[in-house]
Structure 1
Amino acid sequence: MHATAELLIDGRWMPASQGLEVPSLDPANGSQIGCFSAATRADAEAAISAARRAFEKPTWAQSPRLRQNVMNEWASRLEHKAEALAQLLTQENGKVIAQSRGELMGAISEIRYYAGLARHIPGHVLEVEPGVFSTMLKEPAGVAGIIVPWNAPVILLIRSITPALAAGCTCVVKPAPQSALITAAVIRELADVTGLPPGVVNLVSEQGHDVAQLLTSSPEVDVVSFTGSNLTGQRIMAAAAPTMKKLSLELGGKSCCLVFEDADIDHIAPQLAAAATVISGQQCTAARRVLVHASRYEAMKKALASALAAIKVAPGNTPGAQMGPLIDLSTTELVQRRIEQAMDDADEVILRGQRLGGNLRLGGFVSPTLVAHRDASASFVQEEIFGPLVVLEKFETETEAVARANHTEFGLSASVWTEQGARAWRIARALRNGTVWINDHNKLCAEAETGGYRRSGLGRLHGFDALIDFTEIKHIYQNVGVLEPPKG
């Protein structure tokens, strides 16, 4: 029996208005695992209208205790079904099961974090003159369109929808077609929570772009939160401009790992290999450039090549698997072409990755590639290639290391590897990135804001400041006068 993901509109699960269902495929072998209802523009309009009606009632927007209770119950329901959901995530997305389990646990933690914040979104009051008060009230922004990518569909849904719900917004969720089943399964656990008003959360899957285009252009949508490519982010900004929407955009990255001469190469090379191949290299913060001090370059070259070659590529549920397939065959072909071009253009190919055949021939399985290159302006050094490609570079000084790392249009994340605490902070401060890890990589948590400088996005996700994109500040002015002391 295949799973079917229907639409959720105004509290009711339903098929798409035109009845279209699209197959959902396992990226490991191309087999059908279910299908999802493909919404039309009319379905999206109905979902937006339902979210607007729910927002205009005070039941949700002005009831922080209700919001907290609903979100905590949602987290508990997900916790109860975490293993089944992790298995579905691996089946639909391809990532190894350990990563799927970690993603579910991170999502549950994030829901509980924002459930706690739902009852503490404080404003402030100023007495600007005697008896004259200015109150700054934080209010929910309105209807939020949540456009979810396929690479980490659970946590990337949760980190957008939970601050929106905590703030009092209502939502329309549009998942990626490659991960519609897991998104619907997670949303179903929320929809079944007693006390959630109809229309607060709506789900509309699609095969094309009509729903996403409506979310970004409709005057009835107040906020759009999107994680994905720079090109799509630019299109969203352009479409949202006429209605002046609030935007939360986490876009591409080309994360640099700066390795200094005092680093333990044998210890950190496996960590860098894991950071480069997380979700098969399909993560915006994945380690893509390794900049190493010239005195340790040869040691890193050998150790990193060995660590990447040792990565076990297999279906996500295979015992010991460290890297699964890319999301689908069309993506695999595109990424493989770009990796092959990088190998053609690089100064040196240290580890030649390839499309894997045999019993893996039906899936998008690609082994890791490591190249070395001097010119930091080369296209494959600059552009985000969403797969297991690592570029090795060398530097002589701290100044050169920072200059090379900052020579990019991105600014999402980086890591610094050194035993000198002062140097670590000095370099971290100089890097133009929204997140810098010291002697670690890819560590994200609910409490700490994440986002990018430059073309890596707008706004922040995670942490208290994620609420900013889903709230408005209202100034309420009142002259109440003063109580004069009695005369005499």
Structure 2
Amino acid sequence: MYRIYGNFIDGQWQTSISQKLLDSINPATGEVVAHTQDSTVADVDRAVTSVRSAFQTTDWGKNSHRRAAALAKWADAIDEHANDLAAFLTAENGKPIREARVEIQGCSDSLRYYSGMARNVFGRTFQPAADNMGFITREPVGVVAMITPWNWPALLLFRDLAPALAAGNGVVVKPADRTGAITARFFELLEGIDEFSQGILALVTGRGATVGNALVEHRGTDMICFTGSTQVGVQIMQTAARQVKKVALELGGKSPNIVFDDADLEKAITTSCRSLFMTSGQICMAGSRLLVHESIYEDAIQLAKAYAEQLEVGDGALETTDMGPIISETQMSAVLAYIEDGRREGRVVTGGNRLSGPRYDHGFFVAPTVIADLPTTSRVIQEEIFGPVLAVQSFQTEQEAIQLANGTAYGLTAGVWAENLSRAMRVAREIQAGTVWVNGYNRNYAEAESGGFKSSGIGRTRGIDGLLEFTEAKHINITF
């Protein structure tokens, strides 16, 4: 029997004023797994008012020991319930259970890292004259509206939520409407963690057009933190600009893996393909473009084809599943439309179709797809597909590889594969991306900053900069 999850406001679970619900649907089976609130603008106002009151009247923003203890205890609770959380994440999102376990572990890791950082929000002092002393302090921004995505709904929540809370902010969380229930499960674990000031953290589920927009427009929110598509990110920036509101945005990606002729080819292709086909390609850091030196181009294509064809596609609840379904029928249709463009403009090496049969007919499954020989102007090359579609291109020279890598509007991540580390470093410095991995991919750490160049976003998450992102610098000057 599926559950109904409420909004979490002022430390209590509440029903939306609308009295309406949203379905959370397992994309592998089409079955309803939970209901969440279809909230209204009035619900948003209730949440923001509660969080602002807690921020202004409690010691949360000034008591770093309290914040450190709260985050550490939340991490303990997540670890205690990790298996149940992973199973529910798979049911609501569709990703393989092995991947879900990794995601849940990343949530507690983020909380533990920022539990320590909560007591390290340092400023600095300076003395410009004999009778004068200056202090630069770091203070919380205030009330942060956090709008999170459905593809990695747990980790991408805590990646931003942990530093926002560690810095002393109050936060209103609005999860993607498709994955609101797993977010509510995390909020249930707050029970008994008395270190959290009542009301300092709220959850409001609902549709982006209603709840998301209301949070961005609300005069009680001081900062908007959003992870999602570039199109929506631009709209948020435009709206926030009217109130000169701070924003932090991680947006789309079209990330390249550049493979030179001296690279360990099998490792490069295997790792690149894994980075693309995990989460069925529904990940902003996916290595969706494979750029290969012309001398090893056909060999690389065959290795990519073999990797795609050996993947076990199916219900993520099965331990044997390597790749699960697309999140929804709408997203699946969009992915298949891109594949048809690729079929017209290039060569579909493998895949290229919706999977059918008893295992697939009730879900939204697309075969792992590899497309080669596409022109650089193709939509498959230029646009974020958010599906299991790998585009393979060839290059002749180092400079051409750099031009191809930088030849889209995006700049989130990239990979460089070469035994010649001087070449690898030259290329890494020239790539316009917030993270460049050399002879590896998707190596993400709580202590290492990440974020996008160009249309991939603004601001940084993780690491020290991820903490400072949620603060304001203040100069206090004393004349003796």
What range is the shorter-chain TM-score in? over 0.9
| Alpha-carbon shift at residue 319 of structure 1 (Å) | 2.8
- Structure 1 stretches of 5 or more lacking a match? 481-488
Runs of 4+ in 1 over 3 A off after TM superposition: none
**Residues 285-364 of structure 1: pairs in structure 2 closer than 5 A:** 285-346=285-346, 348-359=347-358, 360-364=360-364
What is aligned with 1:259?
Answer: 259
- Structure 2 stretches of 5 or more lacking a match? none
C-alpha contact 2:345 2:375 (8 A) present in aligned 1: no
Mark the structure with the bigger radius of gyration: 1
Distance 1:208 1:258, change over 3 A: closer
In the alignment, the residues of structure 2 paired with residue 191 and residue 8 of structure 1 have an alpha-carbon distance, to the nearest angstrom, of: 11
In the alignment, the residues of structure 2 paired with residue 374 and residue 179 of structure 1 have an alpha-carbon distance, to the nearest angstrom, of: 35
What is aligned with 2:95?
Answer: 95
C-alpha contact 1:218 1:243 (8 A) present in aligned 2: no
C-alpha contact 1:145 1:223 (8 A) present in aligned 2: yes
| Alpha-carbon shift at residue 301 of structure 1 (Å) | 1.2
What is aligned with 2:368?
Answer: 368
SS of residue matched to 1:234: helix
C-alpha contact 1:270 1:308 (8 A) present in aligned 2: no
What is aligned with 1:27?
Answer: 27
SS of residue matched to 2:125: strand
C-alpha contact 2:98 2:319 (8 A) present in aligned 1: no
C-alpha contact 1:281 1:388 (8 A) present in aligned 2: yes
SS of residue matched to 1:153: coil
What is aligned with 2:401?
Answer: 401
C-alpha contact 1:126 1:133 (8 A) present in aligned 2: yes
**Residues 108-127 of structure 1: pairs in structure 2 closer than 5 A:** 108-127=108-127
Instruction: Specify the code of the residue in structure 1 equivalent to 2:86.
Output: A
In the alignment, the residues of structure 1 paired with residue 139 and residue 344 of structure 2 have an alpha-carbon distance, to the nearest angstrom, of: 54
2:214 corresponds to 1:214: yes
In the alignment, the residues of structure 2 paired with residue 161 and residue 17 of structure 1 have an alpha-carbon distance, to the nearest angstrom, of: 26
What is aligned with 1:170?
Answer: 170
C-alpha contact 2:154 2:183 (8 A) present in aligned 1: yes
Q: TM-score, normalised by structure 1?
A: 0.96
What is aligned with 1:82?
Answer: 82
C-alpha contact 2:86 2:104 (8 A) present in aligned 1: yes
In the alignment, the residues of structure 2 paired with residue 13 and residue 458 of structure 1 have an alpha-carbon distance, to the nearest angstrom, of: 33
Distance 1:132 1:431, change over 3 A: same
C-alpha contact 2:341 2:379 (8 A) present in aligned 1: no
Instruction: Specify the code of the residue in structure 1 equivalent to 2:351.
Output: R
SS of residue matched to 2:411: coil
SS of residue matched to 1:187: helix
What is aligned with 2:431?
Answer: 431
| Alpha-carbon shift at residue 405 of structure 1 (Å) | 0.5
**Residues 370-385 of structure 1: pairs in structure 2 closer than 5 A:** 370-385=370-385
2:32 corresponds to 1:17: no
In the alignment, the residues of structure 2 paired with residue 374 and residue 394 of structure 1 have an alpha-carbon distance, to the nearest angstrom, of: 10
C-alpha contact 2:342 2:374 (8 A) present in aligned 1: no
**Residues 151-162 of structure 1: pairs in structure 2 closer than 5 A:** 151-162=151-162
SS of residue matched to 2:455: helix
SS of residue matched to 1:209: helix
Instruction: Specify the code of the residue in structure 2 equivalent to 1:116.
Output: G
What is aligned with 2:146?
Answer: 146
Instruction: Specify the code of the residue in structure 1 equivalent to 2:111.
Output: I
SS of residue matched to 2:154: helix
| Alpha-carbon shift at residue 198 of structure 1 (Å) | 1.5
2:236 corresponds to 1:236: yes
| Alpha-carbon shift at residue 299 of structure 1 (Å) | 0.8
SS of residue matched to 1:13: strand
Identity %: 38
In the alignment, the residues of structure 1 paired with residue 342 and residue 355 of structure 2 have an alpha-carbon distance, to the nearest angstrom, of: 18
SS of residue matched to 1:243: coil
- The Cα offsets for residues 119-150 of structure 1, whole Å up to 9 and x where unpaired, read as 01110111110020111111000000000100
SS of residue matched to 2:409: coil
| Alpha-carbon shift at residue 192 of structure 1 (Å) | 4.0
| Alpha-carbon shift at residue 464 of structure 1 (Å) | 0.8
C-alpha contact 1:2 1:33 (8 A) present in aligned 2: yes
| Alpha-carbon shift at residue 374 of structure 1 (Å) | 4.8
C-alpha contact 1:246 1:469 (8 A) present in aligned 2: no
| Alpha-carbon shift at residue 451 of structure 1 (Å) | 0.3
Between the two proteins, the alignment pairs up a number of residues equal to: 479
C-alpha contact 1:374 1:394 (8 A) present in aligned 2: no
**Residues 401-420 of structure 1: pairs in structure 2 closer than 5 A:** 401-420=401-420
C-alpha contact 2:372 2:392 (8 A) present in aligned 1: yes
Q: TM-score, normalised by structure 2?
A: 0.98
Instruction: Specify the code of the residue in structure 1 equivalent to 2:180.
Output: A
- The Cα offsets for residues 108-128 of structure 1, whole Å up to 9 and x where unpaired, read as 111000110000111011111
What is aligned with 1:444?
Answer: 444
C-alpha contact 1:191 1:201 (8 A) present in aligned 2: no
